[in-house]
Amino acid sequence: MENNNSGRAVVGEVVVNAGIDEVWKAWTTPEGTTSFLAPACNLRLEIGGPYEMFFDQEAAPGLRGGEGLLVLAFQPPVMLSVTWNAPPELPDVRGQHTHVVIRLEALSPDQTRVWLAHDGWGTGGQWEDAFAYFQRAWLKVVLPRLAYRFEHGPIDWDHPPKF
């Protein structure tokens, strides 16, 4: 979704076959996030707590993925808001944080709609690359992996599913 350069956002949703409390735990606990989002993390669900996702554990600190990210707000089990940063290969914008909101809606006792919005983008240069990167990452990888996790079990990080 893109309205204009100042208000654009990556927006997507997925329905997963799990209850809202299970999906909440997937986004808000170390055991949950490592089951679908990243192979390792540093997560503490409190305002200002870390919400770091380590995609490349072999890389040097600062280059492992979503480092320096923080919990901004949460309302169990329906809303989580965190900061996010660009991948290491986009150093011009990596030090600036954008904003991700995840909202959960129980559709039934065993089905939950997950809505994600990622905003706070600059314009030009590597901002364009970062926006394109996250359009693919959130919509074509992360949300499908979340659904996969509840259909088939936790992601095998040595052999992750291809989407």
- Going by C-alpha positions, the residue among 36, 47, 52, 108 that lies closest to residue 79 is 47
Q: Residue 12 corresponds to which tokens in the numbers above?
A: 């997507």
Q: Residue 54: which residues within 8 A CB-CB, separation 6 or more?
A: 38, 39, 40, 41, 42, 64, 65, 66, 67
What string of pLDDT tens digits covers the 163 residues of the chain?
444 455 899 999 999 999 999 999 999 999 999 999 999 999 999 999 999 999 988 888 888 889 999 999 999 999 999 999 999 999 999 999 999 999 999 999 999 999 999 999 999 999 999 999 999 999 999 999 999 999 999 999 999 998 8
Torsion angle of the four alpha carbons 145, 153, 69, 86, in this order, in degrees rounded to the nearest 10: -30
Domains detected in the chain? 10-151 (3.30.530.20)
Residues 88, 94: contact at Cβ < 8 Å?
yes
